[in-house]
Amino acid sequence: MIDFKNEISKAIEKVINIDSKTLNTYIEVPKDFENGDYAFPCFKLAKELKKSPQIIAGEIQEKIELDKKNIEKIEVVGGYINFYINKETIAKEVIDEISSNENYGHSNVGKNKNIVIDYSSPNIAKPFHIGHLKTTVIGGALYNIYKYLGYNVIGVNHLGDYGTQFGKLIEGYKLFGNEYDLTENPIDKLADIYKRINELCSEDEKVLENCREDFKLLEHGDEYCTKLWKKFNDLSIGEFQKIYDLLGSKFDFWLGESFYADKTDEVIKILENTGKLQESEGAKIVDLSSSGIDTPCIIYKSNESTIYATRDLAAILYRARTYDFDKCIYVTSYEQNLHFRQIFEVAKLLGLDEKYTNGLEHVAYGMVRLPSGKMSTRQGNFVKIEDLLNDTIKEAKKIIEDKNPNLEDKENVAKIVGIGAVIFNNLATSRIKDEIFDIDAMLNFQGETGPYLQYTYVRTKSVIEKVSSIPKIEDINIEVLTDKYSQNIIKLIYKFEDILNQVIDKNEPSILSRYLIDLAKAYSLFYNENKIIVDDENIKNARVFLTYAVGKVLKIGCNLLGINMPNKM
């Protein structure tokens, strides 16, 4: 399609002799199309050109040469130049592209670039609660979008299957294991054991020491501890897979912390050779104060056990060598900001090429909270995601039965709607914001929700069904699509690929979520203001095709977020 923004920046370059690539970064998209499709602010040029923004804008307007087939008019407002795209041109561009491209918005911008995404990463022997939901959903959406833009994406589930907590669980199992039958609801029972041993640890330092010793035994391959650890792993992964099946989550590799346990010696040796590894109260640390980080990074503890920072550093080495990544993205809560600042800084000491250390990125997100406050597996205050998903599906079914009691396959539709509501709820706003979970709000068919997008998509399918076929491209009169409501849709559809690029620039899926809501709202206005199925074939064909285009983009966009679309609701 025509790159109107690029055309504008090149035309301005000829007037003021500043590189078009730089000018392209200045161009803005007004919130309201009434103020133009693109706006060029002249304020940044005032110092360089030694003129007021208003004078610069006026001179550019007077001298600029643009193809009127593409840009039909320009206006100066204050220090801004507003550009208006030719309505018929953009309509034709969008209709032609939608008609010819099954994977609309797809590109090869990421060709030959490798992206590792570390996400989900639940802890073995602990319930998969809603605190793990956001990383799973954000990571899954980023995985899909990077891949759609041509990147080679490697999704890694970095399971929490190692560390002192396993020493606690092993010690707890020694003390209380005979009280539990792990053949049913094993994770709930292991969580209860973990809660009990934590209470004991807080009361008795000797018990905590025993837990630490158990983990040290596990690190050194003790047969009994290893056998228990494998048992806890197998039981947990079986339970996690049920959740992933519901969410549609998939990973290329399941490589937990334990995978890197035998790779930490190399990390320690490299750090020792740099002279940066220091002793502190019996532990070995790297002092990061010179990098503005007051808290040192502990590499191994006084009892010579490694910690997860050491294993994360080993993972960076492994991923650089194995995947040759351009980016390695970690999707975890903002509570781990300090941890990732530390290991990214220490990683610079591992002798890796700057390409790898510069490619490390922490994609932080806010907490998911209960109305009563923060969750904690230690205190037993958590919501299991399996229960939450099943409850949401049940509520979705009640709503569907009320709205459309004769709908076929209600069970499957309720599942699609319920799961879609949960996923969208986690992607609807900036990932860094904390979120309070509210089933009623996210199942609102009239709100800015997953079900609203699905309902709009179903509406487009219903229109297509009524006319029985999608009009051929040669039967579409572009002039019909120059009204305000049609143009709002066309301009949004035109932006789709740019929206996907914005998502990966900021690793922010909510940009796509917001866009899809805007598109659905624009279609609702169009649907209410323009009768679609009319006697006039020119009008009908154009509006039906635009309806088809909206449905296509809604489906592609929602699928990229991990949301399926029902054909009926």
Alpha helices of 248-263 — where are they, by DSSP H?
none
Residue pointed to by tokens 């296509």: 552
For tokens 């009009």, the residue is 471
Would you say 267 and 249 are in contact if contact means Cβ atoms under 8 Å apart? no
Active site annotation includes 126: yes
Choosing from 5, 87, 92, 129, which is the catalytic residue? 129
- The sheet that has 71-77: what strands, in order across it? 38-41, 80-85, 71-77
**Using CA atoms, how far apart are residues 24 and 21, in angstroms rounded to an integer?**
5
What is the token pair recorded at 269? 């040796």
Eight-state DSSP code of residue 353: -
Burial 369-380 (b: 16+ CB within 10 A, else e): eeeeeebebbee
Known catalytic membership, residue 555:
no
Q: Are 446 and 378 in contact (CB under 8 A)?
A: no
Q: Which of 87, 92, 126, 362 is catalytic?
A: 126
CA distance linking residue 9 with residue 27, whole number of Å: 8
Inter-CA distances, 145 with 82, 344, 565, Å: 31, 25, 17
Question: In the chain, how long is the greatest CA-to-CA distance?
Answer: 86
Amino acid at 185: N
Say if residues 456 and 439 touch (Cβ distance below 8 Å): no
Tell me which amino acid residue 456 is.
T
| Amino acid letter for position 244 | Y
Among candidate residues 5, 92, 132, 540, the one labeled active-site is 132
481 SS3 class: helix
Closest CA to 87 of 486, 469, 531: 486
Please list the active-site residues.
Answer: 126, 129, 132
